[in-house]
Structure 1
Amino acid sequence: MAARTVKRRHVASRLSCKMLILFSVSLFCVVVLVAAAIFTLHSNNSNSFKPLIRISRVFHGPPKIAFLFLVRRNIPLDFLWGAFFQNGDVSNFSIYVHSSPGFVLDDSTSRSHFFYGRQLTNSIQVSWGESSMIQAERLLLSAALEDPANQRFVLLSDSCVPMYNFSYVYNYIMLSPRSFVDSFLDAKEGRYNPNMSPKIPREKWRKGSQWFTLVRRHAEVIVDDDVIFSTFKRYCKRRPPIDTRKGKLNLQLQKQHNCIPDEHYVQTLLALHGLEGELERRTLTYTLWNQSATKTDNKGWHPFTFSYANASPRRMKEIKGINHVYYETEYRIEWCRTNSTFVPCFLFARKFSKGAAMRLLSDGVIDQLEVSALLGNTQ
């Protein structure tokens, strides 16, 4: 009787082992199938933007500033930027250009060798007031992050000019451990869409200039983001201009939220990540705004374009003399500092015509400024 009991237990034990093995094999197969399904779904969705970052932060040599040019086709002021980069050490900077798809920068399309071959090969068609603008910014950041020596990232337009020489700009930016991002509460305009909640709560909604200067960690946050970018693509859209042919339909169209993605995305994303304490909440790029109205648009603010006549040394000196920025919605005065040293607010300016840029170059406006002025509180 005891022998039969032992035998039954042995058989039961063998059955238990077999069932455990079968369960383990089944579980493994399920995991493999789920992984395959996820891979297939990702492959089928390959048209969506998913940047790949090489995380390595190890690099040799000096840290570099990545100058990111977001342009339509070529760089009209390349002759001025060529002179700017000529006075810098090539080991201290890198250049990336987002132009229209298929456009190539070479000796037939650029007057400066610094831009040859610097265009992205995966650029997209960009339209003002659409999410394609911030997607292009993300593409520039993604490309620049491939080089671990790039530690600062400066976004510039095709009408931007430098206000100082390379040495001053480099030290100004590198001496600060913070990003420079124009960011303030958007309390007056109806750009926030309640449908963005809860992913983007109203109290985290920010507005500001798109022309940023970022430290590497903040650039990685932007490129790694998918959730907030997708929300912007869906809910942050420019209101269509008034079309007299649509008659009463215009009234309905003008009730839509008029959201300009590039004036909100970076600011809001960094606020959502709790990073505002790591920012100088101002831009390094000066813009003069004029209020105007057209037949197809209500009164709004538009950037003033500097011509040869109004790009005088005196005017440029006035811009260089600005030392603070006032934010009305927050009753905040942002005194301009880098590494606790008070400095001029702006290193770059826009929008400049070719004639204005030629005058800056001939008048020597991009002059030498003693770097020791930046080191006053650090020595």
Structure 2
Amino acid sequence: MKAVTKHAAMDDDNDRLPVTVMNFYTSCSKEWPSLGIVQVVYVLIIFMAGVVLGLTGSAHLMQYLTHDELFQQPHPLVRDSCRPGLGSGDCQGLESLIRPPSRQVHNMSDDELLWRASMVPMKEECPFERKPKVAFMFLTKGSLPLLPLWEEFFRRHRKELYSIYVHTPPGYELDVSVTSPFYDRQIPSQEVEWGAINMVDGERRLLANALLDFSNERFVLLSESCIPVYDFARVYDYLINSEHSFVQSYDDPSGNGRGRYRWGMRPDIKLSQWRKGSQWFEINRRVAIKIVSDTKYLSIFRMHCKPPCYPDEHYVPTYLNMFSGSLNSNRSLTWVDWSKGGPHPAKYEGVNITENFISLIRNNGTNCVYNNKLTSVCYLFARKFAPSALEPLLNLTSSLMRF
């Protein structure tokens, strides 16, 4: 009986559940009409409030934005600075990136300048017409005593074909007329000393400033005692059409060559890689970028190459031998007379300057390789010439040099 009673109780509970659920739905259905009206009214109130707030916000926004700003907004990174009414200098176009600096003055440190100059576009094709230029870089002790000769050299030729850069002692101001091609061509400079590593710093400073002009393709390092021995057109064609750079780089087994090598440079620079050569070089843009981008090997020279090791005679020749030997002709384009011996070459005064003398520099009986062919034109420049040589040289410009 107890079991029956228990099952009966369970059945009673099961019978009650549907009644309870049914009562719930019944009660909800009875209250729905009044609850639905309240919800609809509540939703309408919220909707109307949103509409009012939206209209009010739009009215305030229209006070600050024009129609063009609302419906014709340019991309802020591309077009915003190029809208009509703004100066062309405010528009960051391609020309602003490739245009060479109008003046050589800037406030960049050497590290900043070298970093900027080492930037290289990876795309070989230019999206603009690029006329290659020759950069003439003068590393001087001060004045340019042969300046009138160089002005005559450049005079009849378009500035689109060349650039000039002058490195002088700090504080020195080159005194030239505004019509001179040398006007406003001094770069920010620092002290350089003969035989010291800061001489190489000066060379790299010139290269870095010249590399800021994307059109510069060839780079010639000259001193205040250098002269051209051919006219501009001949020099330009020779350099622009060359497949190689012109850096004298050779293995000198004597004490003035290998004898200057420092064993502390190992293992990064080996004796078998050590080279010597003339300071006065001519290089292409690819090699110039490599030189200004180097930090590691210049630091080794800065630490170990001190007199009687002379960095200006070893750094560039050694560096090119290690990394760009196939791009180099292993000869200099600047004629120098070392026949008298000693640490400095012969210097020529005004009494030495004759038409025959310049002709002998041009045709000195030697042949060299140019674009894998033999040629008798081996030198485009010469040094060292004293200030007294200026007048006799100017007398030869129209006849022999054909400036």
Q: Pairwise mapping of residues 187-206 of structure 1 onto structure 2 (< 5 A)?
A: 187-189=253-255, 190-206=259-275
Which of 387, 396, 403 is residue 354 of structure 1 equivalent to?
A: 387
Query: Which residue number corresponds to residue 342 of structure 1?
Result: 375
Q: Which amino acid aligns with 1:166?
A: F
Deviations 1:104-135 (A, max 9, x none): 3343xx697111111112x1100000000000
Deviations 1:40-98 (A, max 9, x none): xxxxxx88687122324745341000000000112111100000000322110000111
Which of 335, 355, 358 is residue 316 of structure 1 equivalent to?
A: 358
Which of 200, 216, 227 is residue 161 of structure 1 equivalent to?
A: 227
Q: Which amino acid aligns with 2:349?
A: S
Q: What is the alpha-carbon distance in structure 2 between the residues aligned to residue 135 and residue 158 of structure 1?
A: 18
2:318 counterpart of 1:268: yes
2:192 counterpart of 1:126: yes
Q: What is the alpha-carbon distance in structure 2 between the residues aligned to residue 231 and residue 73 of structure 1?
A: 29
Q: What is the alpha-carbon distance in structure 1 between the residues aligned to residue 238 and residue 390 of structure 2?
A: 22
CA contact (8 A) 1:68 1:153 kept: yes
Query: Which residue number corresponds to residue 288 of structure 1?
Result: 337
Q: Which amino acid aligns with 1:135?
A: D
Note closer, same or farther for the CA distance 1:336–1:66 as it changes in structure 2 (3 Å cut): same
CA contact (8 A) 1:87 1:165 kept: no
Note closer, same or farther for the CA distance 1:338–1:322 as it changes in structure 2 (3 Å cut): farther
Runs of 4+ aligned residues of structure 1 deviating over 6 Å after TM superposition are 46-50
Query: Which residue number corresponds to residue 222 of structure 1?
Result: 291
Q: Which amino acid aligns with 1:89?
A: R
Q: What is the alpha-carbon distance in structure 1 between the residues aligned to residue 113 and residue 272 of structure 2?
A: 28
Q: Pairwise mapping of residues 31-50 of structure 1 onto structure 2 (< 5 A)?
A: none
Which protein has the bigger helix share?
Answer: 2
2:398 counterpart of 1:367: no
Q: What is the alpha-carbon distance in structure 2 between the residues aligned to residue 206 and residue 49 of structure 1?
A: 29
Query: Which residue number corresponds to residue 246 of structure 2?
Result: 180
Note closer, same or farther for the CA distance 1:221–1:314 as it changes in structure 2 (3 Å cut): same
Q: Which amino acid aligns with 2:352?
A: N
Q: Which amino acid aligns with 2:391?
A: M
Secondary structure at the aligned position of 2:260 is classed as coil
CA contact (8 A) 1:161 1:357 kept: no
TM-score, length-scaled by structure 2:
0.67
CA contact (8 A) 2:363 2:376 kept: no
Secondary structure at the aligned position of 1:94 is classed as strand
Which of 261, 280, 298 is residue 211 of structure 1 equivalent to?
A: 280
By how many angstroms is 1:290 displaced? 4.2
Deviations 1:274-330 (A, max 9, x none): x212211110001111445xxxxxxx3421111111111111111110253xxxxxx
Secondary structure at the aligned position of 1:207 is classed as coil
Structure 1, unpaired ranges of 5+: 1-45, 239-257, 293-299, 325-333, 370-379
Q: Which amino acid aligns with 1:55?
A: V
Which of 115, 126, 141 is residue 182 of structure 2 equivalent to?
A: 115
Structure 2, unpaired ranges of 5+: 1-108
Which of 132, 138, 157 is residue 63 of structure 1 equivalent to?
A: 132
Q: What is the alpha-carbon distance in structure 2 between the residues aligned to residue 67 and residue 138 of structure 1?
A: 14
Q: Which amino acid aligns with 2:319?
A: L
